A and B are shown apart, each in its own frame.
Chain A
Amino acid sequence: MRPSDQLAQFVRDALIADKSRDQIAQALEQAGWAQNEVSDALATWVDAKFQPPIPRPRPQLSAREAFFYALLFGALAFTAWHITSLLFQAIDVLIPKAGDEFRNWEREMMRFSISSLIVSTPLFLWLHSRAKRAIAKAPGKRRSMVRKWVGYITMFFAACTLLGDLVFVIFRFLEGDLTLQIALKSGVLAVVAGSIFAYFRAEIGGDDNDA
């Protein structure tokens, strides 16, 4: 039996033996369990007088959810990537650097990004509204492990992008090479990565705070 299972089993037995939650917490802390481990173990069981103790619903992993959220976040990543790529190239053309030429392969890349956005943006918006409707109908879906993991991974990449962007701007500034082109590109990257980060922070972080 894993330590977390032992702990959950102990809490259950203690609740059946009519010990109060404070008594259980005190006993566990004296035994060396960390405060968060104790509160997590107590939170496993509903705080009610009913016997035997009622377990709280636990996050579950379903293949259907994994497919849905992988598609949702894939569409988001694809959309964010192509928005950034397209706007970068548009900036290069509208504010060219001396000696820069617009080549045919760049034109082809832009056409590919336009095509990708025409598909991935509506797909993301549709999946997003579907996810929202599903959560509104069954709030328990907020506990989806896949949703949390993919959300945190997305936040990690968004945070890395924001930090990298900031480092790059400071570096170019110190090099004396912070041109309008670079400033605009950094701005685009900051808006895309920043809005994704802010959204998931409110969305997933809010769930964790609620728990």
Chain B
Amino acid sequence: MMRDAARDAFLPAVLAGLAIVAVVAGLVVVGGPGRGKAEQRDAERISNLRDASRLVVCLARQNDMVIPEELLAQAACGPLDVLQDPFSGSAIQFEKLGDRLYLLCTELELASDYEDDKTFAGGRLRTDSGCIRYEYHP
């Protein structure tokens, strides 16, 4: 009788124990909802950088196919709202590096999650500075 009861409880006990260990280990590795929210915010920032990059390309087309020194609103390219961090409201930094090269910099909360110097959001991300270097191909 005792043996039967122990047998009946064996698999549920093992599975429940392993499930608890797995869930705790999983939460330690991936983090809780706070980290998830930070990831969502970074995803939105990256999407915003893509839009900012499109804006730069549009402004360059309005400027004889040359990247402008400064980003000024043009009716054909829409407002400059995308040059702002959607959460902190701080400005996205723009820097012209050459006729065909420019930088867009934002502050990623989880920059270390991304691979350094890999193609990213249409450019190449430097995780130390949070800047993406873009090449303009007219």
Contact = CB atoms under 8 A, between A and B. Distances in A.
A113 B25 CA distance: 12
Contacts, number: 78
- Which of the four size classes fits the interface of chain A? 35 or more
B75 interface: no
Interface string B27-40: 11110000010010
Given A87-B21, A87-B22, A117-B22, A125 B29 contact: no
Interface in B20-67: 21-23, 25-30, 36, 39
Contacts of A107: 30, 39
A104 B39 contact: yes
B14 A191 contact: yes
Contacts of B87: none
A118 B18 contact: no
Provide the main secondary structure of the chain B interface: helix
A66 interface: no
B30 A202 contact: no
Interface stretch (B4-12, B76-84, B96-104, B122-130): B4-12
Given A86-B23, A90-B22, A101-B115, A110 B30 contact: yes
A86 B11 contact: no
A11 interface: no
Interface in A106-149: 107, 110-111, 113-114, 117-118, 121, 124-125, 128-129, 132
Contacts of A113: 22, 26
Provide the main secondary structure of the chain A interface: helix
Contacts of B26: 86, 89-90, 110-111, 113-114
Contact of B15 (A83, A111, A198): A83
A57 B64 CA distance: 91
B25 A202 contact: no
A94 to B, nearest CB: 8
Given A83-B15, A121-B16, 17 more contacts: A76-B15, A79-B15, A80-B15, A83-B19, A89-B29, A90-B29, A101-B115, A104-B39, A104-B113, A107-B39, A110-B30, A113-B26, A114-B22, A128-B12, A195-B10, A198-B10, A203-B7
